[in-house]
Chains A and B, each alone.
Chain A
């Protein structure tokens, strides 16, 4: 910014009238700038509220109209009078200028109204979003007052800010790539302003090359620049993200299943990936049911938390002979706190940021706004919570009585018929399996989310329907049961060698893998997972989505490239999987590169050291690189203008000129030395003799061809004359 300002200041002081009065973009440049604005806004459009988008599109349309009109005007002018000379053209320019400038009063009022609107809505949308609104608003309005080159620079810079701020909200590979392309376009518009005689395409090429060269610097800064947490932090974007929520109604997850967004990835390294039906990624346990929806219990009593904490520990100690399953999970920003794990699991880097909860779920201490990685060890064969506290027993047996009378009645009957809990559960599952239940993404609407209606009348639903109905029946029949939400399965991506043990790659779990299932507590076995979905659609549980469901999904989504179509075309599917690998690497190495990994990397390079040493090294490296940069720029400048060293006499003469300037006599640049000494003689007769002598010596040194020794002598004389000159000047009042 400062750099640009300086530049404009310099140029505007030099060519004062020219730049300020008749700054005018050429038509092509103006349109390019407009297009560039549209693109920049488009990138961030998703984050803007509708009214702001309306204002922005209105402004852009207005801008386009103005540009279009100015073209017409020039055209008609050309038709009417053949353009003869410069003056005529300037006149045209002037007209054009007038046409494209809106009265500043109107603009000001507009801006004020917009700011008030933003301020009013600020509470609703949050401080970050309102700041983004303000940025976009000013970005669009600035285009109306391009009066000087400075304004043009400001507009471009604002554009870059808009681009950068769009990265707050999304950081995946595609989006980053798009942003990069837009950056090139933005800078090319700037370049095009200066070299408009070249085609825009060639300017883009030049800009790409320049950016490519500067990428080295970017990489170095990326690796070594200190990520000090107060400064190096992404603003927290509060955004309506798709994902699991801590209240679930029947029918909720069906909406989620339309989303093909990535939820998280799991990397098992060299280990074998468990079977699909084992991959129940646990996210949340919902224990509170009010007859309509399931809710997570906010604050568990302290003592039970303690008890469960000791539980998890004992699990680890007991299971020391069982080989744990180690894997790494990289979560996409979900703007929630829950994390995913194959229960029971312990996080190896468990510390301040990951908490294990009593229900075997993991929680992050902060809201996940950026991709986050953590290492887990799971003991899949171990039972969960062999002992059930009194508190959780009551919680998990509670149901609002009378909310679903038919189910309750059935539960009582089951309780009577099957005293064994697991047999009871099996009975329900076989009923689901044998009767005409269907698994569908488009369940019929239920009145008041009634489970009765689902279980006995419509008999069509999604995982949540089945899981909640099942859990309800279990509770009603006296078995502690709860609803668990999370994800099921995942898509394997990597080299599949056939031999399961040497598979290498990762699992990608998407939002459409979201799932809900039940857990019942059985004496001696702990919490046992029961998935009623398996009873109605075994394929879903064993290998993923059936074709029928995929078809349904693609119909629902109405997208051109839906998942169904993608999965059906082999080539596209391969491409998609390849891209997924790339995106995974991007997330893992670039976005996930936090201060810890930076520290590890540096440790890897330099060995183990105290962190203050690291800070010192980084600081020194920064200083050195800055110095190098300055040096480089300096050399660049020098080679450009071939700086001519000033000779001694030139320095002396310049000094004397400076002295005179203090007295108020300034030598016009175009005036020769002799003429100037004449002028001095007229204005300061006292100085006449000394200064004339000095001038004569200067002239001789500068223009006469002298021998070396002669030159030396004369230089000395001139210095003496300068001393005299200074003394005479001092005597002056």
Chain B
């Protein structure tokens, strides 16, 4: 392949930057290297990120540090239940002097939009993000405005059982490539957090992040994103992803079209997994995220390991029949639907050829 050396070089060249970025993020979000990598992979794969956790777990910090490290313009918007769509996308206002309507751009006209506590806003406002997330453009008063590139929405949300939350509509949930959850820090990390806070009691977070500044330039980020799309994917990996999504669709397809889905070689054979089916968008996201993981891992080809690494965060929120109602349900556990699906597909022989 002609671009193979090309991509290999790009991957190698980017490694330094990636290590730098990761170091930076990990120095702020302590004790969570895995989550940091996933978050970075999400942005490299040009996906939007949803971070769900209890208040005070460092959601906003992670979102913040991501935006700043990548050297992007960002704005934080606190979503509340009385927030209106116009507050997010912007509105036209009549200017007396120039005698015409002028556009007041909302916070969405930034490269990184930090939608804090997104599930506190009404569904109407949540939906205002839809067009922006899908098309990277917004329409105000019938005029379409392009958004700056690269464009990310990093949203945080509280667990749904918290007071005053609206569950995100499925259509919007589907547009987030990943849903991350940070979870409690371990002993060592927590100690470190406490020590750090003590050291800079009078420093604000703003100072902190401002001092950090960006590690890479915008152009470099775009180049990296391009490189991610060019990562090689072998047929086996594609089949693996197809097999995974077929397992989730089995409950739906078993009535009409049994031919293929029954052939996916499965361990948990006919025991039906109770889940929503994965859309082709989901499998696309899965592939893209896996590529990004491979990129971060300094590889120019995707391994099933990459797919497995991102499967939970990419797919769990699309698979759940009901949004998690319990504390910590969004943490990876062995009984989750995503893990059941993973366990049911043979890595070496995903489509059950014999």
Q: What is A's interface to B at a CB cutoff of 8 Å?
A: 14-15, 17-18, 197, 641-644, 650, 653-654, 668-675, 699-700, 702-705
Contact = CB atoms under 8 A, between A and B. Distances in A.
A670 B236 contact: no
A672 B347 CA distance: 6
A636 B348 CA distance: 25
Interface residues of B, number: 31
Nearest to B352: A641
A704 B232 contact: yes
Contacts of B308: 672
A672 B302 CA distance: 12
Contacts of A705: 1, 4, 232, 234, 301
Contacts of B270: 14-15, 18
B65 interface: no
Interface of B: 1, 4, 232, 234, 236-237, 255, 263, 265, 267, 269-271, 300-305, 308, 342-349, 352-354
A643 B348 contact: no
A641 B271 contact: no
Given A14-B269, A650-B348, 5 more contacts: A668-B343, A669-B265, A670-B342, A670-B347, A703-B237
Contacts of B344: 670
Given A642-B353, A643-B353, A672 B303 contact: yes
**A-B complex: 4 closest residue pairs judged by Cβ atoms:** A669-B346, A644-B353, A704-B301, A705-B232
A704 B8 CA distance: 11
Contacts of A668: 267, 343
23 contacts: A14-B270, A15-B269, A18-B269, A641-B352, A641-B354, A642-B353, A668-B343, A669-B267, A669-B347, A670-B345, A670-B346, A672-B304, A672-B305, A673-B303, A673-B304, A673-B305, A699-B303, A700-B301, A702-B236, A703-B236, A703-B304, A705-B1, A705-B232
A669 B345 CA distance: 7
Contacts of A704: 232, 234, 300-301
Nearest to A645: B353
Contacts of B236: 702-703
Nearest to A86: B274
A555 to B, nearest CB: 61
A452 B4 CA distance: 120
Contacts, number: 72
Contacts of B347: 669-673
Main secondary structure, interface of B, reads loop
Given A672-B308, A703-B236, A704-B300, A641 B342 contact: no
A654 B347 CA distance: 13
A704 B308 CA distance: 17
A670 B304 CA distance: 10
A668 B342 CA distance: 11
| Residue among A17, A641, A654, A704 with the highest chain B CB neighbour number at 10 A | A704
A419 to B, nearest CB: 97
A136 B346 CA distance: 47
Contacts of B234: 702-705
A650 B263 CA distance: 20
Contacts of B1: 705
A700 B347 CA distance: 15
Contacts of A700: 301
A669 B348 contact: yes
Contacts of B305: 672-675
| Residue among B267, B303, B345, B348 with the highest chain A CB neighbour number at 10 A | B348
A668 B352 CA distance: 15
Contacts of A197: 255
A644 B263 CA distance: 13
Contacts of B345: 669-670
Nearest to B7: A705
B271 A15 contact: yes
B12 to A, nearest CB: 15
A641 B301 contact: no
Contact of A703 (B303, B346, B353): B303
A702 B303 CA distance: 9
A699 B236 CA distance: 11
Nearest to A644: B353
Contacts of A644: 353
A18 B353 contact: no
Contacts of A643: 353-354
A125 B267 CA distance: 54
Contacts of B301: 700, 703-705
Contacts of B267: 668-670
Given A642-B353, A702-B234, A704-B232, A674 B303 contact: yes
Nearest to A675: B305
Contacts of A642: 353
A567 B265 CA distance: 68
A15 B270 CA distance: 6
Nearest to B340: A670
Contacts of A669: 265, 267, 345-349
A349 B1 CA distance: 84
A668 B348 CA distance: 10
Contacts of A654: 348
A68 to B, nearest CB: 29
A705 B347 CA distance: 18
A653 B4 CA distance: 26
Contacts of A650: 348
A454 to B, nearest CB: 78
Nearest to A676: B347
Nearest to B256: A197
A654 B346 CA distance: 13
A433 B269 CA distance: 89
A665 B120 CA distance: 50
A672 B263 CA distance: 20
B302 A703 contact: yes
A672 B300 CA distance: 18
Contacts of A641: 263, 352-354
A642 B239 CA distance: 14
B343 A670 contact: yes
A641 B264 CA distance: 11
A702 to B, nearest CB: 6
Contacts of A672: 303-305, 308, 347
A650 B234 CA distance: 14
A650 B4 CA distance: 24
A640 to B, nearest CB: 9
Contacts of B343: 668, 670
| Residue among A643, A671, A700 with the highest chain B CB neighbour number at 10 A | A671
B170 to A, nearest CB: 20
A138 B237 CA distance: 54
Nearest to A653: B348
